[in-house]
Amino acid sequence: MTFRATDIWEPWRPEIGQRVRVRISAECREDWGRGPEGHPSWADGLTGIVVDKPYCVQNANPQALARHPYSVLLDEDGPGGTYGLRMAAIELEPIE
């Protein structure tokens, strides 16, 4: 019998309009304070909604943006008026 990864585990994919909580991944925590490619530490735990608008950081690494395909409109603005983030699915959890 042959098993495929999808037989055992199916990744969660946020949908447009879904409410989520930000949970910064361990890999991205390593980038805190390293410029536009790292997630800001203040974002961990914030809530928002997945939107169909490509938030991105000016001069951001295209590979980093490709690994973070989901745009989240935050419920509250962050420092400097930040209102949206680009996230990976693993960094988001659904809010029921």
Which residue would you say has higher pLDDT here, 22 or 33? 22
Residue 1 lies inside a defined structural domain of this protein: no
Q: Give the pLDDT confidence score for residue 4 in this predicted structure.
A: 56
The CATH number given to whatever domain includes residue 46 is: 2.30.30
Residue 68 lies inside a defined structural domain of this protein: yes
Residue 67 lies inside a defined structural domain of this protein: yes
Domain of residue 51: give its range.
14-94
Which residue type sits at 59? Answer: N
Distance from C-alpha of 34 to C-alpha of 47, rounded to nearest angstrom: 23
Q: How many domains would you assign to the chain?
A: 1
Residue 4 lies inside a defined structural domain of this protein: no
Residue 26 lies inside a defined structural domain of this protein: yes
What pTM was computed for the model?
Answer: 0.72
Residue 80 lies inside a defined structural domain of this protein: yes
Residue 73 lies inside a defined structural domain of this protein: yes
Contact indicator for 92, 69 with CB cutoff of 8 Å: no
12 Cβ contact partners less than 8 Å away, ≥ 6 residues apart? 89, 94
Q: Give the pLDDT confidence score for residue 48 in this predicted structure.
A: 93
pLDDT in tens, 58-90: 556 777 777 788 889 989 877 777 778 888 888
Q: Grade residue 42 by pLDDT with cuts at 50, 70 and 90.
A: confident
Residue 55 lies inside a defined structural domain of this protein: yes
Q: What is the CA radius of gyration of the chain?
A: 14
